[in-house]
Amino acid sequence: MMDVVQIQKILPHRYPFLLVDRVVSCDEGEHIEAYKNVSISEPVFEGHFPGHPIYPGVMIIEGMAQAGGILAFESMGKEDQDATQDKVVYFMSIDKCKFRNPVTPGDRLVYKLDVLKHKGAIWVLQGKAYVDDKVVAEAELKAMIVDK
CATH of the domain at 61: 3.10.129.10
Query: Which pLDDT score, from 0 to 100, does residue 86 have?
Result: 83
pTM of the model: 0.94
Helix ranges restricted to H, 3-142:
4-10, 57-74, 78-82
Are 105 and 94 in contact by the 8 Å Cβ rule? The answer is no
Q: Do residues 45 and 52 lie in contact, with contact meaning Cβ atoms separated by under 8 Å?
A: no
pLDDT mean for each 10 residues of the chain (148 residues): 95 95 97 98 96 98 97 80 76 97 98 97 97 98 93
13 is catalytic: no
Catalytic residue among 31, 48, 52, 118: 48
pLDDT given for residue 13 in this prediction: 94
* Domains of the chain: total: 1
Nearest-angstrom CA–CA distance, 81 and 55: 32
Q: What are phi and psi of 25, to 5 degrees?
A: -155, 150
Q: Helices marked H in the chain — which ranges?
A: 4-10, 57-74, 78-82
Contact between 103 and 37 (Cβ < 8 Å): no
For residue 81, the enclosing domain spans: 4-147
pLDDT value at residue 85: 72
In the chain, the N- to C-terminal Cα span, in Å, equals 27
